């Protein structure tokens, strides 16, 4: 029987191509399940999962919770804002207290890079990284690649440009790892101040001219400026950023070919993309969200099969 090469999902960097194909094939099955009139299966009936979020989230938190419920897992939710973390409790103490209630898996979002890795070494549960600072967001990258595969038939050989704040983006790093593993060609595009200096070492190319980048690509993954992680100003004004790196409908319509527009959300409408681009027929933004549930069901199911 096929199984993942890992016991935790800490980052795409720990996966191989076979893992990704297995996750996609499993997600295909679950996507069919969640489109039935009875959307629930008993696969994780004896598994308890804690979603612990130390950072804000809409899509990831709801998508994991729905995925867990569709698989019939027992689910508990923890948000740091309403917890005893405010009274000084450490991450390990918090998680060990949750685990003593007989929890099997922990889905964690945390502002500090490596929080999931740290937990995986210090607590007895399968850990799923739901975003750790500016490090990785593996489930987002998997659902992004899955959505490209669904839209264009395959990821291999496709030209994908990631546009925006690459420096502070966990989505960018996880996408680069995932796309390269699957044989896509990847470029990054943004202000030089928001591109990591040695990014080409990851096998990607840099293009600072947005029109050129868009004319080259099959898919543009538009990222927002991670304002919550900016300590200084990385570009003169938002208006100038929009002029150079924002995609509007006139620009989209003037390209040599029809490209696919993606965005992990949340969108800052009118900054990285205008509303008419976000809501255009070329946008697959809501397909990404839909696919997120099937991808997360697949990951939880495959990881749970290793702890049973
Ligand atoms: N894409 C994403 O991670 O969105 P949330 O922050 O709303 O979970």
Query: Per-residue pLDDT tens for 158-197?
Result: 999 999 999 999 999 999 999 999 999 999 999 999 999 9
Contacts of 26 (CB under 8 A, 6+ apart): 297, 298, 301, 302
**Residue 62: CB within 6 Å of ligand 1?**
no
In the chain, CATH 3.40.50.1370 sits at 12-136+289-304, 138-284
Q: pLDDT value at position 37?
A: 96
What average pLDDT does the segment 86-96 reach?
Answer: 91
The residue whose CB lies within 8 Å of the most ligand 1 atoms, and thus the one to mutate among 52, 57, 109, is 57
How many Å lie between the centroid of ligand 1 and the Cα of residue 1?
A: 33
**Residue 112: CB within 6 Å of ligand 1?**
no
Picking from 308, 307, 302, the residue whose alpha carbon sits closest to that of residue 67 is 302
How many Å lie between the centroid of ligand 1 and the Cα of residue 20?
A: 21
How many Å lie between the centroid of ligand 1 and the Cα of residue 264?
A: 7
Which CATH number is 12-136+289-304 given? 3.40.50.1370
Query: Per-residue pLDDT tens for 36-66?
Result: 999 999 999 999 999 999 999 999 999 999 9
Q: What are phi and psi of 231, to 5 degrees?
A: -90, -25
**Residue 139: CB within 6 Å of ligand 1?**
no
CATH 3.40.50.1370 fits 138-284, yes or no: yes
**Residue 289: CB within 6 Å of ligand 1?**
no
User: CB neighbours (10 Å) of residue 239?
Assistant: 10
pTM: 0.96
Q: Whose CA is nearest to atom 4 of ligand 1?
A: 59
Q: Tokens at residue 185, please? A: 């060609």
């Amino acid at each position: 029987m096929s199984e993942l090469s890992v016991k935790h999902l800490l980052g795409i960097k720990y996966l191989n191509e076979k893992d990704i194909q297995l996750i996609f094939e499993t997600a295909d099955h679950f996507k069919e399940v969640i489109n039935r009139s009875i959307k629930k299966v008993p696969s994780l009936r004896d598994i308890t999962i804690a979603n612990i979020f130390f950072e804000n989230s809409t899509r990831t938190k709801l998508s994991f919770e729905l995925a867990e419920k569709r698989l019939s897992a027992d689910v508990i939710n923890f948000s740091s804002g309403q917890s005893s973390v405010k009274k000084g409790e450490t991450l390990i103490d918090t998680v060990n207290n949750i685990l003593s209630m007989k929890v099997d898996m922990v889905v964690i979002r945390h502002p500090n890079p490596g929080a999931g890795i740290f937990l995986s070494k210090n607590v007895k549960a399968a850990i799923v990284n739901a975003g750790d600072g500016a490090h990785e967001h593996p489930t987002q990258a998997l659902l992004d690649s899955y959505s490209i595969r669904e839209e264009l038939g395959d990821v291999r050989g496709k030209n994908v440009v990631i546009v925006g704040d690459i420096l502070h983006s966990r989505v960018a790093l996880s996408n680069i790892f995932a796309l390269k593993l699957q044989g896509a060609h990847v470029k990054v595009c943004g202000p030089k101040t928001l591109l990591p200096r040695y990014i080409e070492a990851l096998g990607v190319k840099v293009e600072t001219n947005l029109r050129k980048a868009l004319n080259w690509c099959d898919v543009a993954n538009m990222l927002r400026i991670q304002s919550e992680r900016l300590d200084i100003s990385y570009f003169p004004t938002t208006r100038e950023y929009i002029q150079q790196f924002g995609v509007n409908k006139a620009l989209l319509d003037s390209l040599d070919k029809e490209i696919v527009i993606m965005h992990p959300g949340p969108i800052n409408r009118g900054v990285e993309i205008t509303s008419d681009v976000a809501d255009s027929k070329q946008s697959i933004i809501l397909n990404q969200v839909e696919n997120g549930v099937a991808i997360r069901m697949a990951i939880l199911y495959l990881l749970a099969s290793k702890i049973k």
